[in-house]
Every structure is written in C-alpha cells, then in structure tokens.
Structure 1
C-alpha cells in the first residue's frame, strides 16, 4: 500500500491539537508508519519562518505573508514530506495549502488566482490524498481563541476575518468532496474520535 499524505485543517479553535492525538492513536493501533508535521514549520527554516509569521510584532503585507508560507512549504515538501512518502511512511500534516487559501485568501483578501499560481509552482500537481477539515460554529471558535493565554498574529484578528476563513474552508471542501471531509468537532469527544477512526479506516481500505 502506497504511503498517504493526510492534512488536518480548520479555523483556530476547531480543536486540531486534540484530533491530531486521535489520529496518532489510530496509526499506533494499526501499526502503520507515520510522521507528523506542521505548517509553517517542521524544518529549521520553516520553524524560523513560523516564529516570524505568528509573532504579533511582525508587520507584513498579505503578499509577503503568503510568500513566507510557500517558502516554508517548499522546504517542508523537499526535506520532510517527499522523502518520507518515498520511503513508504505516511505523513500527517497540521495545516497545508488549504490554510493559505483560507487565511491569506479568504481572511486577508489575496486573490485566489495568485495563491493558485504559487501552489502550482511549489507543488505542481501534488495534493493531499485526504484532507480533514475540522469545523465548529464561529462563536465557539472565537470563545476558544479568547481563552488563549497569548494570541498570535492570526488569533488577534476580528470575527469578520474568521468568518471569511471558515467560509473558504467550507467552499473548498464542497468543491472536491472526494478529497475532503468536513467534521463537526463541536461534539462529544468520543463521537468525534469514532468519526475520525471511521474516515481513516475508509481511506486505507481504498
């Protein structure tokens, strides 16, 4: 069975950290090789760029922000994602290009065509085998963000920003239902856990 590239995405406050642990639990139970990564990050350069992009003191235009995201992504693909997939190791990534369309496109207002051009340049035709979008009502996400001890640059954005981000995620998922699954993560933990297990079981049965 070929290794798979799985991405987990969604607005801040949707519970990605919790569900990444669930995904790790599934892979452990199945005894399948897996590497967990994040964007931006997962390489020395990527982690440095992550600090810059998330730092509330950083001032940059939407274009500059987007270029930094794709710079980190290029290094991540070359150094982590492709080598592991080529060795038969599955890769699960916390955020990928869908986040750029949602945050820099939907949230910042950068034209999607410009992001798509960068996507083609960096990734070519490479796409995740499966993308799980965690979704919660906007008010729930904002309440969770508000409880954050220290907010990063994105977490300081207003509700209108996050409304556009969420809508972009949902639009992208609706446009390619064969690759995406939208999961309501504002439910009992065990229910969400079982849904994720079922989705992964289906994915690896294909």
Structure 2
C-alpha cells in the first residue's frame, strides 16, 4: 500500500481518536510505518488553539469575531502541521513513506467556524491551497449520543454544547454532499471493532 494521508472527521465524541489509534496499530501490524497527528497540532499555534478552546480566552465582543479569529488560527496551524521542516506530516508521508492519520483537517473549519454564506467563503479562501487527503472518513454520530459520550469527560471545550454540535452536524452534511474525492461515511454508533473493519476494507482499494 502506498503511504496515505487519511483524515477522520465527525462531531465531538464520534470516535475519531479511537479509530485513528486502531488504524495505526493495523498498519504497524502490516509492517508499515504510521503516524497519528491530530489537529490542532502540537506546534505553538496548535497549543494556543487548545488553550482557547479550553478557556475561551480571546477577548472578542461578538461570536462572529471569535469564529473569524479561530478560522485564521486553524489555517495558520494547518500550514505548520502540513509543511514544517521538523515534523510536517506531508514530508513524513512523501519522504519517509509513513501513513499519516489525522483526526480533523480543513473540513472541521467549515463545520465549526462557518455560520453564514460569507463565512463559508471566508473559510474557503483561507484553506483553498491545502491539498485534499488521499482518503476522508466521516464518522456520523447523532448529537444525542455525542452528548452522552461527552458527559463522561472531565473537561468540556467551548464547542461541545448541544446547539453548537447540531449546527456542526448540519455543516458537515452540507460539506460532504459536494465532496468529490475518496470518501467513506459510517454510522458511528457501531462498535469500534466493526467501524475499524469497514475502514480497513475501504483503504485496501488504495
């Protein structure tokens, strides 16, 4: 199998991290190098984003201004995540032959930071030069079940609220309707093992 750039998307609590870890273990069991590298990244901008999501520390007067700033931050972190010379994920794929598994990518910026038509255009401008993944896997989980899963977490981020998750779910559906690259949509309320088997079967076509 050629080295792949694989993105996992879905609302909070849909199981992206679990499936990323399963997939890494699978590839390594096949004797193939694999790296799980989520967004926000572990770089300096990604660390700032995590602080903002945990404590909502950006002093903007309106939600719209906050979302625009987050759009800029995510795009800057995404560029770093893809291309930086120390641990950029595309050099790891192309030069080291490593599968890259990324929970969240630019799809999340559309889902979480876009509310109005002009917001979609704004996010599109910020992300238009980033390459699509080799494979996109969307884990579709009802908001009610996501909230049940999130209820077990000790700390909730500012986006992990019911009204926000419902909007995010709608944005994902709108985005994926017109997506023209390799895509697998799965009902995320299946067992982790069943989801993993379907993901592996989908990736074997590559």
- The TM-score range, normalised by the shorter chain, is 0.7 to 0.9
1:65 is aligned to 2:80: no
1:193 is aligned to 2:201: no
Match of 1:111 in 2: 119
**Partners in 1 of 2:148 and 2:117 — Cα distance?**
24
CA contact (8 A) 1:49 1:72 kept: no
**Partners in 2 of 1:52 and 1:66 — Cα distance?**
15
CA contact (8 A) 1:62 1:104 kept: yes
Runs of 4+ in 1 over 6 A off after TM superposition: none
Match of 1:175 in 2: 178
Q: CA RMSD in A?
A: 2.0
CA contact (8 A) 2:40 2:74 kept: yes
Match of 1:75 in 2: 80
The aligned length equals: 196
Alignment gaps of 5+ in structure 2: 61-65
Match of 1:128 in 2: 133
Alignment gaps of 5+ in structure 1: none
- Distance of aligned partners of 1:171 and 1:180 in 2 relative to their CA distance in 1, 3 Å threshold: farther
Match of 1:27 in 2: 27
Match of 1:36 in 2: 36
Match of 1:51 in 2: 50
TM-score (norm. length: structure 2): 0.86
Corresponding residue SS for 1:111: helix
TM-score (norm. length: structure 1): 0.86
**Partners in 1 of 2:106 and 2:51 — Cα distance?**
18
Match of 1:89 in 2: 98
